[in-house]
Structure 1
Amino acid sequence: MSLLPFRPDTQLTEVMRLRVQSLQQRGQKRQDGERLLRPNEAVYRLDFSKQSLHFSHWTVRLTQPGHLTVTATSQLWTPDLTNLMTRQLLEPVGVFWRSPEDASNVPVKCYDADAHEFGERIAELAKVRKVMYFLFAFAEGCNPETVDCSITFTLDS
């Protein structure tokens, strides 16, 4: 078993926020097809130390009610940090939430089929990548301080 935590990429998130600010300050529009980072989003990354993985399960903890959407990108970020294009966002996405009426011991809810397919897609991409990048969108009271997200894989023998 290999548990991989999603880690915030604060530097890349900041660069993407600066891109939005720069466009706003100059009164310019985004490039055709460009996907700008929204205020409630941050970039996270998964680092793969091994490539031969099979998806096992997600571990998502939300310490308070809220909604987390995890979207993978096909982008291999380069030193020049090329702009994120909408076509580089992968389907399906992982959607996880905790409702206000949920007791603290109730597991976080998700769309199981999508989450499972998403995990399998990440395992496939891990075969050719050392790193993958993700957009985490926080909503309804959820924020980076209230989220702990990781993914577990079994290793090919």
Structure 2
Amino acid sequence: MEETGAASDSVVLEFKEDTALTEKMRLRVSSLQCSGQKRQDGERLLLPHEAVYRLDFRRQELSFRRWNVSLGGHGRVTITGISQHWTPDLTHLMTRQLLEPVGTFWRNADDPDGCGLKWLEADMQEFGERIAELAKVRKVMYFLFAFKDGAEAAKLRCSLAFSSQE
């Protein structure tokens, strides 16, 4: 896409790990394991290779432009949007609150040095546009990031570029 308009029309939002919420979700898993209880019907528990990230929208009227993703090394990162608003009492995450499509970025271990990240372009475009739509009614949006096949949170930089419609 060609860049148009002044630089002030461009908004870049970086995904930030919500460590407190990630920890609360890990405690939920621990608590269930220790007490021998089962998850609620339809509840989605956080897996060990997952973390909760968030986007904070300072502006509401945004148009999606592009993903900015870099991953050191190889691996696979899957990003799943969550339609849920969390409350201080930690409302449990339910599978019906996970959005489609998911975003997946990857680099295989046998890819040549300097090989760029791979992704499904149509899915990533649709996912970005869906996030921009949700930003119109939200100040914060949450995401599950799954790190697989050698990917690590410390080696990932991920943001979205939008243009402002205001």
Q: TM-score, normalised by structure 1?
A: 0.97
Which residue of structure 2 aligns with residue 130 of structure 1? 139
Q: How does 1:142-153 map to 2 (within 5 A)?
A: 142-153=151-162
The letter of the residue matching 2:16 is R
Task: Give, in whole Å, the separation in 2 of the partners of 1:27 and 1:4.
Answer: 40
Task: Give, in whole Å, the separation in 2 of the partners of 1:18 and 1:11.
Answer: 11
**Radius of gyration: which is bigger?**
2
CA 1:133/1:104 → structure 2, altered by over 3 Å: closer, same or farther?
farther
The answer for unaligned runs of 5 or more in structure 2 is 1-9
Q: How does 1:11-26 map to 2 (within 5 A)?
A: 11-26=20-35
* Percent of aligned pairs with the same amino acid: 61
Does 2:92 align with 1:112? no
Partner deviation per Cα, 1:36-81 (whole Å, 9 max, x = no partner): 0000000000000000001100011110100000000001111111
Structure 2 counterpart of 1:90, from 99, 102, 116: 99
Q: Cα RMSD (Å) of the superposition?
A: 0.9
Count matched residues: 157
Indicate the larger mover: 56-65 or 103-112. Answer: 103-112
Task: Give, in whole Å, the separation in 1 of the partners of 2:98 and 2:50.
Answer: 14
Which residue of structure 1 aligns with residue 4 of structure 2? none
The answer for unaligned runs of 5 or more in structure 1 is none
Partner deviation per Cα, 1:86-125 (whole Å, 9 max, x = no partner): 0000000000001223345332110111000000000000
Task: Give, in whole Å, the separation in 1 of the partners of 2:68 and 2:110.
Answer: 21
Task: Give, in whole Å, the separation in 1 of the partners of 2:14 and 2:90.
Answer: 23
Which residue of structure 1 aligns with residue 165 of structure 2? 156
The letter of the residue matching 1:113 is A
Q: TM-score, normalised by structure 2?
A: 0.92
